[in-house]
Structure 1
Amino acid sequence: METSNPHLPDGYSPIPAGKLVNAVTFVEMCERPTPSRATNESSSLSISRWRSPDLDAYRALFRAVGEDWLWWSRLRLTDEALAAVLSNPGVEVFVLTDGDARIGLLELDFREDQECEITWFGVVKEAIGKGAGRFMMDFAIDTAWAHPIRRLWLHTCSFDHPGALAFYRRSGFRPYAFMVEVENDPRLAGLLPRTAAPQIPLLEW
């Protein structure tokens, strides 16, 4: 990930009202690990490719998985822009189901040569800590490395589940970069309800 912005100085930096400040950790895996580190402990879990998903259904799952962690960037896209991403041959979308219920979202982006980014990865809050995330991550790693890549990477941030970085480390990723992201708060823009992610301060005065 490249940036043209200067480094932040030590000490406090003022942030305008309506903004979010997010500490982002980038992690990578540069060789294929031993496959199938975990087994599916629940026979009701399955993962399938979600080809050209219905946009309303996609947004509903995106919200169900990500609202507590302020996932929002896909919500600002028009139907045309979102459909273009999801139908791109370099983007693979998968859905994790428990029986008939959709409980997880995974997206792999192969548009950079010999690389794969895990752009979206998460399960609904009811499935956290029950093995669904491990099942889906093992699938993600095996699926990504089945392609001719040399690097698998993703980023996690201070808005994510507090166990996210440790989970990625256990999965075989190592941190390689750390950045600070400043964005407009999607709750003030109406992309997410004002009650979303109450653990993250909504800065307005």
Structure 2
Amino acid sequence: MSSKVYYLQQLSLSQLSAKPMNEHLSVQEIIEQQAQKSREFYIAVGKNWQWNDKLAWSEQQWLDYIESNQLRTFGAYIKGLLAGYFELHKHSDNSVEIAYFGLTADYLGQGLGGDLLTRCLQTAWQWQANKVWVHTCDLDHPSALANYQARGMSLYQTILEH
């Protein structure tokens, strides 16, 4: 089965079309047990979108993944329950990739995606990025591409993968 992969970017914070944060949504950077939380978040959010590239990873692979200080993980919570997460990866060229972004199934369709993406992009820019970028595909949430574009990210490449 083939899918389209979309690459989007923002070249300055001024391109951000911010959406106000839902007052019930709190975002926290994960410092303690980052590998464990990254794995939990990846499974909780990714199970709906065929994220399976890391499902077979060992505990050591997760520890190796988060070892770099160039990877930051953020959990999004409503009333203490996981609503979603994002991970940012800073590359050697000072670009910041949104490595993972999404909501858990219980919080889809409530307008939280734009709120969380706004916070994600603001956080990426605070990390002295020269560009923020992401890739998504047509296997992700049907509103994913539109959400990225509504927050001011522009499409710069589309690839058909087989």
- Same topology, TM > 0.5: yes
Aligned residue number for residue 140 of structure 2? 160
Q: CA deviation at 1:65?
A: 0.9
**Paired amino acid for 2:64:** A
One-letter code of the match for 2:19?
A: A
Q: Tell me the distance in 2 between the aligned counterparts of 1:106 and 1:30.
A: 19
**Structure 1 CA distance, aligned partners of 2:98 and 2:56?**
20
Match of residue 133, structure 1, among 110, 113, 125: 113
Quick one: which amino acid aligns to residue 89 of structure 1?
Answer: N
If asked which structure has higher relative contact order (CA below 8 Å, sep 6+), I would say: 2
- SS of the counterpart of 1:59? helix
TM-score by length of 2: 0.89
Q: Note the aligned Cα RMSD (angstroms).
A: 1.9
% identical equivalent positions: 25
Residue 79 of structure 1: aligned partner: 59
**Contact 2:16/2:151 (CA < 8 Å) preserved in 1?**
no
Asked if 1:142 corresponds to 2:125, the answer is no
Aligned to 2:21: 40
- What SS does structure 2 have at the residue aligned with 1:27? strand
Deviations 1:139-174 (A, max 9, x none): 111111112221110001010111111111101111
Q: Which residues in structure 2 correspond to 1:186-205 (within 5 Å)?
A: none
Unaligned runs of 5+ in 2: none
Paired with 1:76 and 1:178, the residues of 2 have a C-alpha distance of 28
Q: 1:54 to 1:165 in 2, by over 3 A?
A: closer
Question: Matches of 1:154 and 1:56 in 2, distance apart?
Answer: 23
Segments of structure 1 that go 5 or more residues without pairing to the other structure are: 1-19, 183-205
Q: Which has the higher strand share?
A: 2
Provide Cα deviations, 1:106-137, integer angstroms capped at 9, x if missing partner.
00000332200001000012212223212211
Size of the aligned set, in residue pairs, is 162
Structure with a larger share of its residues in helix: 2
